[in-house]
Amino acid sequence: MHTFDAVVIGAGAAGLFCAGMAGQRGLRVLLIDHAEKVAEKIRISGGGRCNFTNRDAGPANFLSANPHFCRSALARYTPQDFIGLVQRHRIPFHEKHKGQLFCDESSDEIIQMLLRECEAGGVARWQPCSVNAISDGFVLDTSRGMVRARSVVIATGGLSIPKIGATDFGYRIAKQFGHKLIDTRPALVPLTFDAGQWAPFVDLSGLSLEARVTTGEGKSKGEFLEDLLFTHRGLSGPAILQISSFWSPGTPIRLDLAPAQDLQADLAAAKNASKRKLGNELAEILPRRLAQTWLAGKPDLAEKPMPELRDRDLQALATGLQRWELTPSGTEGYKKAEVTAGGVDTRELSSQTLESQKTAGLYFIGEVVDVTGWLGGYNFQWAWASAAACAQAL
């Protein structure tokens, strides 16, 4: 029987960070992962450059059934703390957009940094190693033998991207120890539409433009001004990934395809000033492909010179483009989702330490917990902050 102070299961962002920090506090720590390689999600994140935090991350950037839960951990381990660590490891980085920080070179630098931190803490690492069972009192039956530990940290992440090792292990352990789960669903994910409904827009596939996207009402309303991407099956791009986390099946999303403009006023002005056909005029205001596709079913309008158009037709056109309402049929699912929303119900965890309120010594950190960040480095910041809160309590 091997004995450790703490066993951390899952060598992803949260698990590696927690193990290193706990080891450096003098604890004997074992880090287990069933995959050959550690932190595959860090590797593929941010297009290979890892958007490792967001300078402005705060509780408002997270979704949860218990929205205040993340406050304590986020306040005690801030983006500035992680930036300091990255700087101490001399990893060059840059800000790309709205506070998002990326490595200049490669996300592998973040992985190597976390591994060095684990080494500095004398963390034992078993990989690939699977955990068959965890019994009360924390005896773990693993593929490399039996292990006893005072504390167990579940850092096995969510269900997104099963082909690089995502499993429901964390949720199963949570249930075994009597925890409630908030229903899981793919988030930060492209939205899809029925083939028939989408047929008129398939030719726009590959087109990207800035758009304002909204969904929901009141407290559950989401609104983002970001780039939108048309795909063969529906919509993607940052604007859609963001709104997907707020979207409920069966409800519509609303798009403003010309958010920097007042199209009604622009078209009214063009009616007085231009003799061009509407199709040509619209192609000056919007991307040409979008203008052509939008008017494709309305040749009478497209071919009419501006002065001959009725005000109400121009008004309807402007409203259609700036308040386009459409109901997705679904999402691209976990195979394309960047994160999993929902997870271990935070109302049964300590917000100070992430410890289970049902079983002393059992902790849940990172994405397995019902705390889901927006797109833009927030999910990693939650992984670091929840890991730090736990590591200090172990």
**Which parts of this chain interact with ligand FDA (CB under 6 A)?**
9-15, 32-35, 39, 41, 44-46, 50-51, 130-131, 155-157, 160-161, 165, 167, 169, 338-339, 366-367, 377-380, 383
The residue (of 143 and 251) whose beta carbon lies closer to ligand FDA is 143
What value does the CA radius of gyration of the chain take, rounded to a whole number of Å? 25
Q: Which residue's CB is nearer to ligand FDA, number 144 or number 289?
A: 144
CB distance 69 to 44 below 8 Å? no
Nearer residue to ligand FDA within complex by CB, 50 or 394 = 50
Cis before 259 (ω within 30): no
Q: Which residues contact 190 (CB under 8 A, 6 or more apart)?
A: 231, 233, 234, 235, 236, 240, 241, 244, 331, 332, 336
Q: Least separation, in Å, of the C-beta of 15 and ligand FDA?
A: 5
**Smallest distance, Å, CB 46 to ligand FDA?**
3
Structure tokens at 325: 């309402």
Task: State the nearest-atom distance from the C-beta of 388 to ligand FDA, in Å.
Answer: 13
Give the CA dihedral 362, 366, 367, 372, nearest 10 degrees. Answer: 120
CA angle 86, 87, 91 (to 5 degrees): 65
Encoded tokens for 56: 């402005």
What is the residue type of 370? Answer: D
CB of 179 to ligand FDA, least distance (A): 16
**Amino acid sitting at position 284:** E
Minimum distance between the CB of residue 51 and ligand FDA, rounded to whole angstroms?
3
Q: How far is the CB of 18 from ligand FDA (least distance, A)?
A: 9
Q: Which is nearer to ligand FDA, 67 or 305 (CB)?
A: 67
d(CA 90, CA 84): 10
Residue nearest ligand FDA, Cβ-based? 12
Query: Which residue, 201 or 224, has its beta carbon nearer to ligand FDA?
Result: 224
Q: Sign of torsion, CA 36 370 188 99? A: negative
CA–CA distance, 155 with 388 (Å, rounded to integer): 12
**Cβ(196)–Cβ(215) below 8 Å:** no
- Toward ligand FDA, which CB reaches closer, 8 or 302? 8
Question: How does strand 234-236 pair with strand 222-230?
Answer: antiparallel
Our CB check for ligand FDA shows the closer of 66 and 130 to be 130
Contacts of 273 (CB under 8 A, 6+ apart): none
Question: Which CB, 41 or 277, lies closer to ligand FDA?
Answer: 41
